[in-house]
C-alpha cells in the first residue's frame, strides 16, 4: 500500500500528513503521534504488540499503535489519552481508586493511558461488563507495578458511573 498523503482526526483536530515530509511509509502510528504531534501519553515499551502500553482508540476501537502503520490509519478518528480530561469517568475512576479494599489503579502511571483507552473501547461495546469480560478485555495489557486489582476495580467503578448516568442497570 502506498500513500502520499494521510488524513487523520486526532483528539478532535484534523491533520494532513505528507509522506517523505511527515512520515515514512513504514512508520508506525505511535511514532507519528509521539514525534510529530508530541502526544507522549501514547506510551511505547515493547514495540511488539505484547504490552498494550501504546493502545489508542481508532474509530472507537482499541488498536496497538506500535503495530499500526500510519498509512493504515488514513481517514480515521484517533483518540489518545490527551483527548480525555479529568471529568472523563474512566480517568476519574483510575485516579480515584485507592480506598480500603480497592487497591490502587495507578502507581508509576506508565501503563495507565493504555488501560484507560482499552476500558473506553470495552465500555463503548459493553457498558456493563462482567468480571470475566473485564479480565478478558484487559488481558493484553501489562502493568509492571502490579496494580491489576485496582485497575479492575477502576473499570467496574467507571462502568457503574456510566450505567447510572445512562439510567442503566448497575453492576453487582
Considering only 5-13, 17-25, 44-52, 89-97, which stretch makes contact with ligand FES by CB under 6 A? 44-52
Rounded-to-integer distance, Cα 66 and Cα 27, Å: 9
Asked if 96 is part of the footprint of ligand FES (rule: CB under 6 A), the reply reads no
Which of 82, 81, 78, 56 has the alpha carbon at shortest distance from 67?
Answer: 56
Strand (E) positions, the chain?
Answer: 5-10, 13-18, 55-58, 61-64, 77-79
Considering only residues 56 to 85 of the shown chain, the ones binding ligand FES according to CB under 6 A are: 64, 66
Stretch that binds ligand FES, among 38-46, 74-82, 86-94, 130-138 (CB under 6 A): 38-46
| Closest distance of CB 19 from ligand FES, Å | 23
3-state secondary structure of 15: strand
Which of 107, 114, 159, 103 is CA-nearest to residue 133? 159
C-alpha cell at 100: 480500603
User: Which lies closer to ligand FES via its Cβ, residue 104 or residue 128?
Assistant: 104
Among 50, 60, 135, 139, binds ligand FES (CB under 6 A): 50
Q: Which residues of 111-146 are buried (b: 16+ CB within 10 A; e: fewer)?
A: bbbbbbbbbbbbbeeebbbeeeebeebbeebbbeee
Choose which of 7, 21, 35, 49 interacts with ligand FES (CB under 6 A).
49
- Nearest-approach distance from CB 169 to ligand FES, in angstroms: 30
Number of residues in contact with ligand FES, rule: CB under 6 A? 22
Question: Which residues make up the interface to ligand FES (CB under 6 A)?
Answer: 44-47, 49-54, 64, 66, 106-111, 143-145, 147
Amino acid at each position: 500500500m502506498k500513500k502520499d498523503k494521510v488524513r487523520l482526526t486526532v483528539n478532535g483536530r484534523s491533520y494532513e500528513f505528507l509522506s517523505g515530509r511527515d512520515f515514512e511509509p513504514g512508520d508506525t502510528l505511535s511514532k507519528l503521534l509521539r514525534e510529530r504531534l508530541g502526544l507522549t501519553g501514547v506510551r511505547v515499551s515493547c514495540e511488539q504488540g505484547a504490552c498494550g502500553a501504546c493502545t489508542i482508540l481508532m474509530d472507537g476501537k482499541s488498536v496497538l499503535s506500535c503495530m499500526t502503520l500510519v498509512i493504515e490509519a488514513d481517514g480515521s478518528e484517533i483518540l489518545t489519552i490527551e483527548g480525555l480530561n479529568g471529568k472523563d469517568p474512566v480517568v476519574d475512576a483510575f485516579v480515584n481508586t485507592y480506598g480500603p479494599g480497592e487497591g490502587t489503579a495507578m502507581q508509576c502511571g506508565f501503563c495507565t493511558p493504555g488501560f484507560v483507552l482499552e476500558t473506553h473501547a470495552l465500555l463503548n461495546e459493553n457498558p456493563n461488563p462482567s468480571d470475566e469480560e473485564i479480565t478478558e478485555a484487559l488481558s493484553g495489557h501489562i502493568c509492571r507495578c502490579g496494580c491489576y486489582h485496582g485497575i479492575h476495580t477502576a473499570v467496574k467503578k467507571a462502568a457503574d458511573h456510566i450505567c447510572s448516568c445512562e439510567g442503566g442497570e448497575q453492576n453487582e
